[in-house]
Structure 1
């Protein structure tokens, strides 16, 4: 508001994947502002320029980046969203690899024409489905698929994990050994913060923009790339 000279009337999520789906609720509550039922991805992608806002022409700047220590950086102008990503990523690395940011002030009309609508409502329905399945001792995976279209690609346990943090990204791959009907098969998933490619015995069976999720079969909880572990 200080930089643009315009008052914010609502807050919207940049991406609906992971904790970012809930992050806008915190500042919105503190500021007494509504949260728009939409986001800029309909999932999670690793880089700023991949948001639908910018694909459809909304300027990606100004962008504010801050950390828990009180450091703040402001990107006032850039050639494009890719350059905003590069500069913000560099700042975030210097801040210790974790930062919060706000960017792309938009009009209501721009939100309606560039955002992925009703994504917060979908997240709530998915969460309720998992919670109810646990309460009723039902299969949470089936409960999820009853709410939103999807497919079980594989079932097994993690037998190998190669994960490194480079240039501000968690990059690597995870190997899952098959169980039950997938016994004797292996699934390899390559990731860069998010799961990007799934290979069944070296054959690609799923790739972005389809959403590839690793889910705890008993609890129905997603296992993000930073939480992956052997077994």
Structure 2
């Protein structure tokens, strides 16, 4: 076990073997782009970040694999090692348990591949808000496999548009990106009816955003 692995796993359930396999799989996926040591560092750091907030350890390895893979893809995009074929949009709120998850899912639904979307939280919660999951299910969007993700520098660097929703100054500012701040209420304090209203408000905003992004791409 490397010293990096030891330091990352201190105080956590030892999933070293599983994380090692994830690192090997992602090393193959990003072969020629990242060294094995870089991939391993991202996997173990992603595991640690998720372990701090996740209540369900059973699925931690699976979520780590998804989170690390997306971070590595973002890093590769920001370095020009992977094609940047469509606009990249990042939604950020405090807990990544409500507003930013709704926005990302709704934009994904409407864009149908014309835009790539990520979401993150400056202080991610353990789970998505139940009212949010229910309101989105009513709109035909399943969030049951989604999970709150911490905001990392790599996903900000990869984004063309960064949209904040109540996270203040916690999002890094880089030149050449469009930053927007949407004043949306936090659904954490709302019942299902309130979550529906927030969903519909966000839906209008993401459709306007999609129109702007696809129109600018055409020109």
- TM-score w.r.t. the length of structure 2 is 0.24
Q: Quick check: which one's helix share is greater? A: 2
Q: Quick check: which one's strand share is greater? A: 1
- TM-score w.r.t. the length of structure 1 is 0.23
Larger Rg: 1
Higher RCO structure (Cα 8 Å, ≥6 apart):
2
